[in-house]
Amino acid sequence: MEVILLERISKLGQMGETVKVRDGFARNYLLPLGKALRSNEANKKRFESERATLEARNLERKSEAQTVADALEGKSFIVVRSAGETGQMYGSVAARDVVEILAAEGFNIGRNQVHLNTPIKAIGLHEVELQLHAEVEIKIELNVARSAEEAERQKQGETLTSVDAIYGVDEDALRPEDFFDPEADGNAEDDDA
């Protein structure tokens, strides 16, 4: 199906372009959300008459998105989740969770604006891309950790996915003598008799 784009859509085209898309994409996404019109003579005339209004609205949305992007620039958000000793989380951090985290900080972002290909399932520092407008993209950092203290240690560059990072013990430096007293008599029962 051929449609006239009413706004810029990444990987598809600019406002005003006539593009060929799959019927389902047009019927289920572009047309219902008002992002495109079916390509026919009546709609081409309608688009040309409304072009100035559409461009002004697009420019306003872009400036609003840029304001939010400037506020989010360089920000890091701490996410506290339960995880095992190897750093594997018991749950995950999905786009819905990112939206909730940003909402708690006062940013109103839609779930469809969060580009997270797969949920985050391990602790660590993760970059998440937000597409606030077709022309405004930004990356934020999520610091996923077991606690706020661990998040601070991760931020400083420490890796927390091993036992020594969790308990403060270097596994390679441990020796049997650290756990057992070689001088102690093995027959503790005999001493009591």
Superfamily of domain 2-65: Ribosomal protein L9, N-terminal domain (3.40.5.10)
Residue 144 β-bridge partners: 79, 124
Residue 21 CB contacts under 8 Å (≥ 6 apart), including other chains: 1, 2, 3, 12, 30, 36
Q: Give the mean pLDDT per block of 10 residues along the chain (193 residues).
A: 89 90 94 92 90 90 91 89 87 92 91 90 91 89 89 78 54 63 60 50
CB atoms near residue 39 (< 10 Å): 17
pLDDT at 175: 66
Q: Which H, E and C letters describe the chain, residue by residue? A: CEEEECCCECCCECCCCEEECCHHHHHHHHCCCCCEEECCHHHHHHHHHHHHHHHHHHHHHHHHHHHHHHHHCCCEEEEECCECCCCEEEEEECHHHHHHHHHHCCCCCCHHHEECCCCEEECEEEEEEEEEECCEEEEEEEEEECCHHHHHHHHCCCCCCCHHHHHCCCHHHCCHHHCCCCCCCCCHHHHHC
**Residue keyed to tokens 């407008």:** 133
Residue 73 has φ and ψ, to the nearest 5°, of -55, 125
CB atoms near residue 117 (< 10 Å): 5
pLDDT at 185: 62
The reply to whether 2-65 and 76-168 are identical in fold is no
Name the CATH architecture for the domain at 76-168.
Answer: Roll (3.10)
Domain boundaries, the chain: 2-65, 76-168
pLDDT at 193: 47
